[in-house]
């Protein structure tokens, strides 16, 4: 959910160390019981931290250029993402149950409701990371079972958000003419994550009809998400051209545009890799060719949008853009660019993709560290746990 500019620093925190710990513990405990100061609210946007952490494990596991400590980084990211997911799956639903009006408030908020796409993507991100990295610790059969369950749950939940959230936006929620923002992609991107994650599961499905069906279902979800994502990206471009940028904490969501782009390249590459094991010729070769024929032109768009998003972010910082959970938009989307570039490297064997994937991975790690520290600070201070019950809608402007 978009936070007000000074939300993270708007509350005074006791300076004494012991008192500060009690304050911090009390505020998080409030999420499960009665609210301190009456304004604790945890929304689905917190699951973005799981996505942004888990993508490090996935990206590290398929990075074409290896370096010492890479597996350790991927392992730590997987473990932390798994712990965060479990905590979120326990704390947030209990918080909503004990404060019945919270879920309805979020569902009626035109900004907050968009982030209901985060939980299904968080489930599938941890599932894929478990199969790719966690299997070294829990064994492949267990990792496969976990991934299968999380992928299925995330896919079903993602399909629901991809329909219900836009439907509510079309029929009940009021938005301004300059209201299109990167968050509108959140509820419609999960099917693309399903396509990318499903590619990992295709080889483990029984040979024949079931395996080929899963392959084609993944391609259908690829198309489902791609078409809607292109529509939303066009609307964001139109809003920027007509109204400009807000310079607020909504600006980081512009990076979400890279999410469906990078994830679609990842999905096309992953599905192309396993197509030969799932379907016959000439379709298998066609799918593999599609991975490059689609992936390379789409990869070019990354290098158009990346500098645009960067310049708009720098502009917003000059306008005193504050910190909010939207800053997690700097992590998962860049992570999908790493995985997409890595897939192109695997298909083409070209150094340009190999070294670019490594460079993007380093950027991902830096972004993750910065956002994680700021999130911890914001949580301790209390601002991130106390957003306004109704999201403030920033106005876009030029100049």
Domain ranges in the chain are 35-382
Residues of the chain with pLDDT under 50: 1-15, 17-18, 28-38
Query: What's the CATH fold of domain 35-382?
Result: Glycosyltransferase (1.50.10)
Give the pLDDT confidence score for residue 399 in this predicted structure: 73
State phi, psi for 178 to the nearest 5 degrees.
-110, 30
Looking at residue 246, its pLDDT comes to: 83
- Residue 73, helix vs strand vs coil: helix
Angstrom CA distances, 344 to 58, 276, 341, 375, stand at: 15, 17, 5, 33
Please spell the DSSP secondary structure of 246-310, one letter per residue.
Answer: --STTGGGGGGGHHHHHHHHHHHHHHHHHGGGTS-TTHHHHHHHHHHHHHHHHHHHHHHHHHHHH
Cβ-proximal residues to 121 (8 Å cutoff; 6+ apart), any chain: 47, 51, 154, 158, 189, 190, 193, 332
**Lookup result for tokens 């994937």:** 357
**Tokens 């300076």, residue?**
15
Sign of torsion over alpha carbons 25, 26, 27, 32: positive
Q: Considering the entire predicted model, what is its pTM?
A: 0.89
Would you state the pLDDT for residue 23? 53
Question: Is residue 124 within 8 Å of 150, Cβ to Cβ?
Answer: yes
3-class DSSP assignment, residue 5: coil
- Per-residue pLDDT, 249: 87
Helix (H) / strand (E) containing 199: helix 190-201
* pLDDT of the residue at 167: 97
pLDDT the model gives residue 34: 35
Q: Is 377 helix (H, G, I), strand (E, B) or coil?
A: helix
Provide the 10 A C-beta neighbour count for residue 164.
14
């Amino acid at each position: 959910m978009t936070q007000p500019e000074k939300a993270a620093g708007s509350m005074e925190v006791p300076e004494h160390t012991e008192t500060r710990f009690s304050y911090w513990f009390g505020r998080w405990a409030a999420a499960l019981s009665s609210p301190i100061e009456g304004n604790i609210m945890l929304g689905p946007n917190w699951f973005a931290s799981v996505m942004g952490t888990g993508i490090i494990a996935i990206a590290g596991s398929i990075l074409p250029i290896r370096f010492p400590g890479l597996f350790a980084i991927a392992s730590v990211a997987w473990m932390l993402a798994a712990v965060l997911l479990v905590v979120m799956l326990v704390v947030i639903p209990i918080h909503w149950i004990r404060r019945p009006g919270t879920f309805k408030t979020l569902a009626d908020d035109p900004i907050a409701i968009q982030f209901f796409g985060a939980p299904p993507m968080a489930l599938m991100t941890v599932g894929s990371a478990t199969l790719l990295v966690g299997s070294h610790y829990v064994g492949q059969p267990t990792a496969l079972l976990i991934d299968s369950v999380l992928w299925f749950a995330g896919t079903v939940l993602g399909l629901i958000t991809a329909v219900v959230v836009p439907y509510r936006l079309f029929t009940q929620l009021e938005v301004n003419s300059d209201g299109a923002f990167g968050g509108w992609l959140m509820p419609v991107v999960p099917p693309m994550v399903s396509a990318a994650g499903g590619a990992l599961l295709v080889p483990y499905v029984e040979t024949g009809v079931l395996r080929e069906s899963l392959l084609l279902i993944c391609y259908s979800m690829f198309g489902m998400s791609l078409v809607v994502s292109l529509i939303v990206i066009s609307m964001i471009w139109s809003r920027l051209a007509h109204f400009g940028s807000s310079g607020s904490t909504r600006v980081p969501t512009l990076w979400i545009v890279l999410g469906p782009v990078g994830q679609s390249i990842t999905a096309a590459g992953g599905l192309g890799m396993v197509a030969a094991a799932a379907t016959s010729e000439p379709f298998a070769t066609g799918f593999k060719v599609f991975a490059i024929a689609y992936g390379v032109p789409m990869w070019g768009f990354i290098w158009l949008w990346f500098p645009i998003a960067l310049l708009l972010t720098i502009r917003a910082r000059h306008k005193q853009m504050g910190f909010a959970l939207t800053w997690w938009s700097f992590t998962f989307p860049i992570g999908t660019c790493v995985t997409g570039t890595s897939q192109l490297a695997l298909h083409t064997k070209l150094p340009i993709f190999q070294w670019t994937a490594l460079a993007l991975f380093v950027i991902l790690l830096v972004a993750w560290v910065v956002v994680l520290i700021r999130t911890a600070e914001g949580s301790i201070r209390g601002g991130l746990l106390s957003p306004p019950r109704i999201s403030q809608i920033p106005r876009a402007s030029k100049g």
